[in-house]
Amino acid sequence: MKKSIGLMVVGAAFVAMSATGCKSAPSAEELKQLDDLKAEVSSIEKEINARQTEKAALQRAIAEKDSRLQQCLKDKEAVQQHIKGMM
């Protein structure tokens, strides 16, 4: 009885130790590679956000210029008609 208990304990110890031994940790170099990749992703995300902001600002500027251009063309036409009418 005592012998069997002893065997069970030894078996359990073996299983526990072998389970621990199966999982190897990444090396410091690999961890640095992971950190670098994370930093690169974060940097690209920031750059995309900056481009989106720039895009929105450009779209507003274009819309504003377009509105002024349409007004200018309208005024030009009206002035030409006015001059014709005054002649």
Partner 1 sequence: MKKAFDITLRLLLVAIAISVAATSVYSQEMNKEEWQKQITDLTTKRNDLKNKLTAAQSEVAALQKQDADKATALKLCQDELAQTMKANSAADESAFASSVDNPDAKLNDLSKLSNQDLYARRAELDSVQAWIDNAKKSPFSAVEKYANRLKDVQGRLDALRKSLEQSIASGQAMQTYTVGTWAKDRDCLWNIAKKPKIYDNAFLWPKIWQGNRDQIKNADVIHPGQKLKIPPKAELTKQEKSALRSYWDKKQVAAAPTK
Asked if 12 touches partner 1 (CB under 8 A), the answer is yes
Q: Taking a C-beta distance cutoff of 8 angstroms, is the pair 65, 57 a contact? A: no
The first and second tokens of residue 33, run together, are 């590679």
Asked if 7 touches partner 1 (CB under 8 A), the answer is no
In sequence order, the 6+-apart residues with CB closer than 8 A to the CB of 34 are 26
User: What residues make contact with partner 1 under the rule CB under 8 A?
Assistant: 2, 5-6, 9-10, 12-13, 16-17, 19-20, 23-26, 30-31, 33-34, 37-38, 40-41, 44-45, 47-48, 51-52, 54-55, 58-59, 61-62, 65-66, 68-69, 71-76, 78-83, 86
